[in-house]
Amino acid sequence: MPDLVPTPNPGSWSGTAPVPVAGLPGRKHGKKGKGVSGNPAKRNRDNAAEAAVRAFAAWLAEQDQIAGPTVADEIAQFGALLKLGRKLGLNPLTASGLTDLVDELMAVGDGEDDVDGDVSDFVEQGLVTLGDYACFRVEADPDDPAWDEALSVVDDAIEELGPFTAVLHAAQESAETIDPGERRAVCASTRLVSAVRPLLAWLGNGRATTPAGGVRRADIAEVSALLDIAAVGVNKRAPYVPEGPTLFDLDGTASATPVIQALSVNDVPLVAAWWDALGLTGVIERDGSRFRPGLVAAAWLAELEPPLELAEQVLGLTLADVISGGYQSGAESAFLLAYLIARLTPALVPDGEMFEVEGPEPEPQYAGRVDAVLRLLAHGGLVELGEDGVSVHPALRGVVARGIYVAATVADIPESDRGR
């Protein structure tokens, strides 16, 4: 999956604090002037582990899709798994040690309904991280069948853990089998990606921004128009009139004059999420009180279609922000996100795969809001809405899966509430 960096909540990955990894910056090699001390056999083992971790990190950096939000996050998670393995007398750097560690992870809280959320998250994240390491070893050691078997064990464990995790994992793997040129073309055809080039032209040498780094009221209309959204920045909204125009009629069709009266860009959620995603990926950047094209803007404009990884990052982060309500906390946001995940996840099931991922129907007070958010995603080109419900283009399923995972992780939505 594309490395969507940085996430809106920098630091730990779903509550798992980074764990120092032997040999990475910060390690002290023995006492000053004394060289490395200790048992030679232990030094050799540590050096081998160091080399394996570095090789794994280099492999992750070359992948379009990885389990962690960033390479550093995933290596930190892998370091925690190695540490756990040592405590259990296992070596996850070997195929047999990895499968034994999978068994240990699956045994944690087995049969218990009240497993601590942090523990559950560690198990889930541990499995997908071990899956990445097994994939790495399958490629590095193609003649060793033990790693193929180890990868199958991890995949089975992920599927057993829960359909939510299994579907996201399968969607990401399935996306990797699609030709990168096709994925790039599909991403480029979305409204969220195709509008970036005109936005960069509009920015020119720079445009003033709000103190918080958002779009100024005076510019809301122009920026929103790039996404074919009619909005206008106002100091005060007109009085509510029941028979007046709304953004969407009750049946989900657009009103004749759906103009959003926005006190800030946050009142135009798709634009706000898109703007933030472009900033997070470096397509645009803030320079004091102004925004201008960012460090990767030239790469975006170098060809008719932007780089695949960069386009997928923008799409994934925009989706994560939209469905999580801008990473707001509170019960309402959590409920809304859980219902949205339940609606989106079934659309990610790879063709030919069988997963039972039917989620709960939203309570009446949330139903309209869920539909409204789904329409925003459809407007951006991330999903399609039809009589049969939500569907996602196969080339975009990995992107949507990654966005869902980021949103659920940052919002700390437990597996049991994500739809089964």
Considering the entire predicted model, what is its pTM? Answer: 0.66
Distance in angstroms (rounded) separating the CA atoms of residues 152 and 345: 23
Q: Are residues 308 and 409 in the same domain?
A: yes
Q: Are residues 120 and 190 in the same domain?
A: no
Q: Are residues 275 and 347 in the same domain?
A: yes
Predicted local confidence at residue 48, as pLDDT: 79
Residue 168 lies in a domain: no
Q: Are residues 71 and 215 in the same domain?
A: no
Say which residues have a Cβ less than 8 Å from residue 99's Cβ, sequence separation at least 6: 149, 150, 153
Q: Are residues 199 and 119 in the same domain?
A: no
Predicted local confidence at residue 78, as pLDDT: 92
Q: Are residues 212 and 295 in the same domain?
A: yes
Residue 13 lies in a domain: no
Residue 92 lies in a domain: yes
User: What are phi and psi for residue 299, nearest 5 degrees?
Assistant: -65, -35
Q: Are residues 115 and 253 in the same domain?
A: no
Q: Are residues 96 and 201 in the same domain?
A: no
Predicted local confidence at residue 252, as pLDDT: 44
Predicted local confidence at residue 149, as pLDDT: 94
Distances from the Cα of 386 to the Cα of 107, 249, 252, 398, 413, angstroms: 42, 17, 11, 21, 27
Sign of the Cα pseudo-torsion (243, 228, 274, 184, in order): positive
Of 271, 267, 188, 187, give the one whose Cα is nearest residue 227: 271
Residue 236 lies in a domain: yes
Run means of pLDDT, 10 residues per run, the chain, 420 residues: 31 32 28 42 67 92 81 90 91 93 80 50 83 93 92 84 75 88 97 97 93 90 94 81 49 56 90 94 92 95 95 95 71 79 87 60 80 93 90 94 84 45
Predicted local confidence at residue 128, as pLDDT: 87
Distance in angstroms (rounded) separating the CA atoms of residues 126 and 165: 12
Predicted local confidence at residue 121, as pLDDT: 67
Q: Are residues 298 and 390 in the same domain?
A: yes
Strand pairing class (290-293; 284-287): antiparallel
Q: Are residues 109 and 239 in the same domain?
A: no
Q: Are residues 265 and 196 in the same domain?
A: yes
Residue 344 lies in a domain: yes
Residue 14 lies in a domain: no
Q: Are residues 189 and 280 in the same domain?
A: yes
DSSP code for 346 = G
Predicted local confidence at residue 330, as pLDDT: 58
Number of structural domains in the chain: 2
Predicted local confidence at residue 419, as pLDDT: 39
Contact 49, 21 (CB under 8 A): no
Structure tokens at 195: 């509008």
Residue 87 lies in a domain: yes
Predicted local confidence at residue 4, as pLDDT: 32
User: Torsion angle, CA of 267/269/274/275, rounded to 10 degrees?
Assistant: 20
Contact 286, 210 (CB under 8 A): no
Distance in angstroms (rounded) separating the CA atoms of residues 209 and 276: 13
Predicted local confidence at residue 358, as pLDDT: 58
Residue 45 lies in a domain: yes
Structure tokens at 21: 């990894």
Range of the domain at 47: 40-161
